[in-house]
Amino acid sequence: MFRWILGGVFVFLMLIALTPSGLYAQQSPNFILDEGVIGSSGSNNASSDSYSSSSSTSDISVGNTASGNFQIETGSKTTRDPTLSFKMIDGGSSLGNLSATTASMTTTSFSVLNYTSYGYVVQIFGPPPTNGTETIQSSPIGSSSTPGTDQFGINLVANTLPYTIGSNPDNGQFGFGQASPDYSSPNQYHYTSGDTIALAPKSSGETIYTISYLVNVAALKPGGTYSTSQTIVITGTY
């Protein structure tokens, strides 16, 4: 008899074990506790429409571990939701007076954070600087500065020629962003609208990118203000 009772208790416990626990726990019409865990980390993203909290207790490790097919985000903030953050740090930039004898350069910066993804690509769109029907010609891949010729190009790394300007991508602690190959050679400037200028091969913390712009003009370049509006597009895969 007791064996039968014991067997019944075992089956009951197994049923409990095989019941989706999330259906009953950590959720109400107004609140949800997502990925609550017991251990060294706290509960992440306890939120309602008006409030959100994240908590942490004694993370053993933080960061990203990845192979070709898998990756693990370690630490308290392990929301399963995708996150994409883009910020233009300095979106307006003047090249000053253009000259046929010296190069004109300037920089702009932006940051990208793309979490819980399989990486992202950053594309740039927009024409080279124009003045009416006049256009400063884009320079091909691998071009160095040549004053006196039409050149419009960019790169995303630190340069020393023709000036010391620009920076390599700043990945902070958890960023994995990098300049794409055509835009990662110091002192070489290139531009094609629609090109991928930067990428991250996996989920990445914040990366700050600095675009260095180079403009050279021919002596006969018609006078006037040459300008362009360019747009950054980031596409993440989740």
Partner 1 sequence: MKKQIGIYSRLLTVLALVAASLVQAISFNPVGASQITDRSLKLIQGADADNGGSKAGGLVKHEFTFTLPTAGSVGSIKFEYCTIASGTCVLPTGLVTTSATLGDESTSAVQGFTMVNTTNGAPYLTRTASAITANAIAVLRLDNVTNPTTVNQTFFVRISTFASIDTTGTAIDTGTVTASTAEPIILSGTMPESLVFCTGETISKTALVPDCATATAGAISFNQLFSPTDTATATSQMAASTNAGFGYAITVNGPTLTSGSNTVSPMSSSTAGVKGLSQFGMNLKANTVATSTVAIGAEVDPISNATNYKGQAIIGYNAADTFKFISGDIIADSSDGGAGGTDAQIFTASYIVNVPGSQPAGTYTTTLTYICTPKF
Q: Which of residues 219-238 bind partner 1 (CB under 8 A)?
A: 219-238
C-beta of 68 vs 96, nearer to partner 1: 96
Q: What six digits make up the tokens of 112?
A: 């990208």
Q: What six digits make up the tokens of 153?
A: 């190009």
One residue of 2, 4, 51, 70 binding partner 1 per CB under 8 A: 2
Q: CB of 205: closest distance to partner 1 in angstroms?
A: 15
C-alpha span between 183 and 177 (Å, rounded): 13
Q: CB of 62: closest distance to partner 1 in angstroms?
A: 21
- Size of site (CB under 8 A) for partner 1: 74
Which positions ≥6 away from 188 have C-beta within 8 Å?
A: 141, 142, 143, 144, 153, 155
- Which three-class secondary structure state does DSSP give residue 61? coil
Q: CB of 192: closest distance to partner 1 in angstroms?
A: 13
Residue 85 in contact with partner 1, rule: CB under 8 A:
yes
Whether the Cβ atoms of residue 188 and residue 142 lie closer than 8 Å to each other? yes
| Residue that has been written with the tokens 């490790």 in this structure | 61
Q: CB of 162: closest distance to partner 1 in angstroms?
A: 15
**CA gyration radius, the chain:** 26
Q: CB of 174: closest distance to partner 1 in angstroms?
A: 18
String marking each residue 36-65 x if it binds partner 1 according to CB under 8 A: -----------x-x----------------
What's the distance, CA 120 to chain centroid? 7
C-alpha span between 62 and 53 (Å, rounded): 19
C-alpha span between 197 and 184 (Å, rounded): 9
Residue 93 in contact with partner 1, rule: CB under 8 A:
yes
C-beta of 123 vs 171, nearer to partner 1: 123
C-alpha span between 161 and 148 (Å, rounded): 16
C-alpha span between 205 and 84 (Å, rounded): 10
Q: CB of 42: closest distance to partner 1 in angstroms?
A: 17
One residue of 17, 60, 69, 173 binding partner 1 per CB under 8 A: 17
Peptide linkage before 162 cis (omega within 30 of 0): yes
C-beta of 18 vs 60, nearer to partner 1: 18
Residue 123 in contact with partner 1, rule: CB under 8 A:
yes
> Which of the stretches 17-25, 70-78, 158-166, 202-210 binds partner 1 when contact is defined by CB under 8 A?
17-25
